[in-house]
Amino acid sequence: MNLYQTKLICRKHTNLRDPDIEKICGVAAQLQLIADLAQANVFIDCPAREGKHAVVVAQANPRTTLTLYTKSVIGQLAYESYEPAVALTHRTGKPTIRNRAITQEGKLVKQSVVPIKNDQGATIGSLIMEQAINWQLLPEYQWQALSKTREHLGQTLIQMTKQESFVFDLIQEALFLIDHQGMVVYANSHAINLVAEMGHSGEFVGTSIYEKLSFLTSIDLSGQKVFFQEVSSGKKTFTVKSIILQRDNQRMGTLLLIRDLTELREKERQLMVKSTVIKEIHHRVKNNLQMIASLLRLQMRRGVPEEAKALFQESLNRIQSIASVHEILSNTGLDEVELPDMVKKIGQLLVNNARPEKNIEISFTGDRIRLPSDKAVSLALIVNELIQNSVEHAFVGQVQGIIRVNMVKVDQEVQVHIKDNGVGCLPSSANHESSLGLQIVKMLTEHDLAGFFSIVPTESGTEAVVRFSVGEGI
């Protein structure tokens, strides 16, 4: 199993963090053993960065039986419409066992999907097992019933086309019924419009489908009973699905369904471009902020009055806190920030910059919470001020201390608790008048987040709490 390839695909096509990618690789390392033991094709799919689809990050074909797949599908998208069980598992975190599915190579399989979760219990991917259905194990009467159903389907479709049924016009795809030689027997209204869009006018029933839709010439419609493929023709993109219709084991014709995906693919392309532009903007903002921080450091090294050094350092920390938000946004391309990632980045930076004679530890716990970028910037400044306040003032006369940061979401309210085991805050701190930092915290919490801020002494130090409401989708 090529774990390097798995890591590369995860980093390129998903929003998974490094610990989650390591978790995926841990499962991928056992994939071949699982495939051989289960005598099944086994895959790992992860939610794709763009859209609601998934991407195949690992695959193992069984060495103990025949494989269902002749080619590797690693790196390919698994579209929600064709892999509903995978999408459901990613959305709900629940397994789907022994579901019937059709592979992209047109084979009917039993598919089982179980979620892969990280240490926080979030679903980061799915383990998929596909086995061929052994028709020989079915009772004979079931086999006959299925064959008759297939024949009845073909007969019904032929009969409905002869009656010019309006049912086919309700289908949101171009539907063609062609005979075994590829001649068009019937076409619904969407099919007629498609042929017209491809530059052919007039009656085409009784003519070759390949003459009207030249992009079909690259597809073998006779090789598989059920077939699906996405093809391109000029600037257009189509999905082509076909079902071979039989009667008495003789081919009656082919049901052909074609959908124009050009607009959808163009929107996906525009979203990708937009995402790339947004990432680049955040990257440049981060670089500009880091340049400002570098200028401040340069000025501090060249010499500033002793009483001004603390003010320079506070300004430097605030700039770096905002830069950390834009750095996260530049990596994800999204307009949301993972709260734990942001807070941990800020907290570790402040503790590492603390006075060397102080041995300060910091820990982070809580829920995986996503915040819009505007709220994230405000909260980054708030967290910076509160942790900085603990680092500077909580451990006076102490050589070591502990700061604990806890982030929870209760209903539609986010709560950030920052607690230390220092000497405790002064009474004036509770009124937020003791420092510029606490005034900034109060202003940002009330005006930017429409929330509440409190800071109180505890039995073993000080606890600051910031609470604010978020929307249902957060």
Q: Are strands 54-60 and 41-47 parallel, antiparallel or unpaired?
A: antiparallel
Q: CA-CA distance, 77 to 86, in Å (whole number)?
A: 12
The answer to whether the CB of 40 falls within 8 A of the CB of 67 is no
Q: What single-letter amino acid sits at 333? A: G
Q: How many CB atoms lie within 10 A of CB 194?
A: 23
pLDDT digits (tens, 9 = 90+) for 160-193: 555 444 455 556 788 888 887 788 888 887 888 8
End-to-end Cα, the chain, rounded Å = 37
pLDDT band of residue 260 (cuts 50, 70, 90) is confident
Domain formed by 3-133, architecture: 2-Layer Sandwich (3.30)
Q: CA-CA distance, 365 to 236, in Å (whole number)?
A: 50
Q: Considering the entire predicted model, what is its pTM? A: 0.45
Q: CA-CA distance, 20 to 46, in Å (whole number)?
A: 11
pLDDT higher than threshold 50 for residue 194: yes
Q: How many CB atoms lie within 10 A of CB 79?
A: 18
Please identify which residue in the block is written with the tokens 């066992």.
97
pLDDT digits (tens, 9 = 90+) for 307-360: 777 778 778 777 877 788 777 777 765 677 888 888 888 888 888 877 767 788
Q: How many CB atoms lie within 10 A of CB 113?
A: 25
DSSP helix/strand/coil, 450: coil
Q: CA-CA distance, 112 to 80, in Å (whole number)?
A: 16
DSSP helix/strand/coil, 15: coil
Sorted by sequence, the CB contacts under 8 Å of residue 301 that are 6+ apart come out as none
Length of the chain: 474
**Fold classified for 265-469:** Heat Shock Protein 90 (3.30.565)
Provide the residue ranges of all domains of the chain, joining segments of one domain with +: 3-133, 137-260, 265-469
Residue 136 confidence (pLDDT): 41
* DSSP letters for 162-214: HTT-GGGGGSSSEEEEE-TTSBEEEE-HHHHHHHHHTT--S--TTSBHHHH-G
In the chain, what percentage of residues exceed pLDDT 70? 81
Please identify which residue in the block is written with the tokens 């980093």.
11
Q: CA-CA distance, 218 to 240, in Å (whole number)?
A: 12
Among left, alpha and beta (phi > 0; psi -120 to 50; other), residue 160 is alpha
Q: CA-CA distance, 268 to 273, in Å (whole number)?
A: 9
Residue 226 confidence (pLDDT): 72
**Region 354-369: what's the mean pLDDT?**
83
pLDDT digits (tens, 9 = 90+) for 448-457: 899 999 988 8
Residue 171 confidence (pLDDT): 65
Please identify which residue in the block is written with the tokens 């049924």.
165
Handedness of CA 208, 233, 70, 246 (dihedral sign): negative
Q: CA-CA distance, 187 to 253, in Å (whole number)?
A: 13
The answer to whether the CB of 324 falls within 8 A of the CB of 346 is yes
Q: Are strands 400-410 and 452-458 parallel, antiparallel or unpaired?
A: unpaired
DSSP 8-class letter at 445: I
DSSP 8-class letter at 261: -
* DSSP letters for 38-93: HTSEEEEEEE-SSTT-EEEEEEE--SSS--S-SS--TT-EE-TTT-HHHHHHHHH-
Please identify which residue in the block is written with the tokens 């690259």.
218
Both tokens of 82, joined, read: 């064709």
Please identify which residue in the block is written with the tokens 């006076």.
396
Bigger pLDDT: 157 vs 142: 157
pLDDT higher than threshold 90 for residue 291: no
Q: How many CB atoms lie within 10 A of CB 385?
A: 25
Domains 3-133 and 265-469 share a fold: no
Of 165, 99, 135, 161, nearest in space to 225 by CA: 135
**Fold classified for 137-260:** Beta-Lactamase (3.30.450)
pLDDT digits (tens, 9 = 90+) for 102-122: 665 556 677 889 999 998 889
pLDDT digits (tens, 9 = 90+) for 434-472: 577 788 889 889 998 999 999 888 888 899 999 999 865
Which of 18-27, 376-385, 391-400 is predicted least confidently? 391-400
Among left, alpha and beta (phi > 0; psi -120 to 50; other), residue 327 is alpha
Q: Are strands 108-117 and 123-132 parallel, antiparallel or unpaired?
A: antiparallel
Among left, alpha and beta (phi > 0; psi -120 to 50; other), residue 101 is beta
